[in-house]
Amino acid sequence: MSFNPAHWPLPGQLLLAFMLGALGVLAYAPFGFGLVMLPAIALLLHLWRHSATPGANFWLGYAFGLGLMGFGVFWIRISISQFGGVPMALAVVITLLFVAFMALYYGLAGWLVGRLRSRNPVLWFVLLAPAAWVLVEWLRGWLFTGFPWLALGYSQIDLPLNGFGPVLGSYGITLVLVASAGLLNLLPRVGAIAALAVLWAAGFGLQQWTWTTPAAEPIRVSLLQGNIEQAQKWQQSMRQITLQRYLDMTESVPDSKIVIWPETAVPAFADEAEAKLLAPLHERLTTQGRDVLLGIVAGDRQGDYYNAMLSLGISGRDHYHKRHLVPFGEYLPFDEWTRPVLDFMQIPMSNFAAGGNGKPLVTLAGQPVGVDICYEDAYGEEIIRALPEATLLVNASNDAWFGDSLAPHQHLEIARMRSLETGRYMMRSTNTGVSAIIDDKGHIVSTSPQFKQHVLTDDVVPMRGTTPFVYWGNWGVVTLAILLLLPGLFAQRSD
């Protein structure tokens, strides 16, 4: 990377890249202007193509990342400050440091495409740049446990390119989107116009394809949104009030065969709640011929505690323990060195153990259901572990951690992508919203109002079958991206 000031981008170019990243936030929920991302990426590619060095590309990509992450995930400060006991000024500093780190991935993408610079603009815009972007985005999704939030593919959830989701997943949509942005740079060449039309027509055509089929008759389900304030959630005085609220809501929907409570809806440990809540509720539900899946903290004989979902009722008792934990929120990486951080932040219920590696399945209303908790649905390959057995999906969450911000809407958009990729209905139950029923195409069937106590009742259709993405997960698009890079590598060796 060159640190020669003569090779740095001009201040105006850096400002433009930053503004393009900030503008890109509008492509995601709750704004939903997905088409904005296409010219934003096209202009960034233009800047990269005409920069002096790979180092200059790095700084342009870094500026873009600062704009996208800075405006897109600034909500992280809310949980750090309001619920972590950290002064707001310090929470902002921590958030900005996180943004600065995440922006490095966009800088890496810029540097990589700079290193792969080709004399052939078609090769560079259509193959090399999209492939490099996807590989770096994929890296961001798993390195250091990963942070795949605001991957480009999510921005296209309501546009024709989402047809590639069941085939190559969200990263596949990213690949086609960046290739489309590259083709914009090649206009008005006839070949570029034709290729752009083919890509988007292919996406539209794939939207019409049915990958999965109904496995059973529709099932009436209810998602309970208790709207318990996060600041009060673990107060002893709120325990009985909270439990009675959820019990009353459960009894208010006697025709629902499945009732879903949110993540950690029960503000108590499972062993504490067994005699007075869990056992009586299981017996009553069994008599009624219904099932409940509820969030609770469960322990084991080794003294470990888990963020868990527990099923009760006619289908029998079962559980799922969350496996992909949030660093510094649910567990401490390098505990012996970072323990003072958690003690300082005072985040409740933040020392969980990770669940096992078995299939994340429970039985509800006679159907095998894939379960994930909160942030786990940001990882497509986590969800497909339950498939093809699962006929339905559940995401239980508590987005109260992020208040009235962009986060709950972005999280719902991510859940929609998981339904699209797998061809399954998803029941998404949250504490404060947005709770939702999502169909097998990623469309929202019904939602709850935010920050209100609400029972969302609707029908879901169990689905059978397997999308291509379920077969090969992210490795399909990763392999494709590597193959797309080969022509550039060979071209460089021949220069």
Q: Which helix (H) or strand (E) segment is 259 a member of?
A: strand 258-260
- The set of residues, in sequence order, having a beta carbon less than 8 Å from that of 399 and lying 6+ positions away, is 407, 408, 411, 430, 431, 432, 433, 434
Residue 272 annotated to the active site = no
What are φ and ψ of residue 10, in 5° steps? -70, 150
Q: Measuring CA to CA, how many Å separate 324 from each of 353, 428, 490?
A: 10, 18, 39
Q: Quote the crossing angle between the two packed helices 129-140 and 88-115, to the nearest 10°.
A: 150
Alpha-carbon span 164 to 170, nearest angstrom: 8
Please tell me whether residue 72 adopts helix, strand or coil conformation.
helix
Catalytic residue among 137, 233, 257, 263: 263
Q: Measuring CA to CA, how many Å separate 310 from each of 66, 70, 98, 223?
A: 40, 37, 34, 15
In terms of DSSP bridges, do strands 463-464 and 291-299 run parallel, antiparallel, or are they unpaired? unpaired
Alpha-carbon span 237 to 197, nearest angstrom: 61
In terms of DSSP bridges, do strands 367-373 and 392-397 run parallel, antiparallel, or are they unpaired? parallel
For residue 269, give the DSSP letter.
B
Alpha-carbon span 162 to 173, nearest angstrom: 6
Amino acid identity for residue 167 in this structure: V
Catalytic residue among 233, 374, 376, 413: 374
Distance, CA of 479 to chain centre = 22
Radius of gyration of the chain (CA): 23
Q: Residue 430: which of 414, 166, 130 has the closest Cα?
A: 414
Residue 452 annotated to the active site = no
Distance, CA of 477 to chain centre = 18
Q: Residue 152: which of 94, 56, 69 has the closest Cα?
A: 69
In terms of DSSP bridges, do strands 219-225 and 463-464 run parallel, antiparallel, or are they unpaired? unpaired
Catalytic residue among 233, 322, 376, 382: 322
* Active site residue ranges: 263, 322, 374
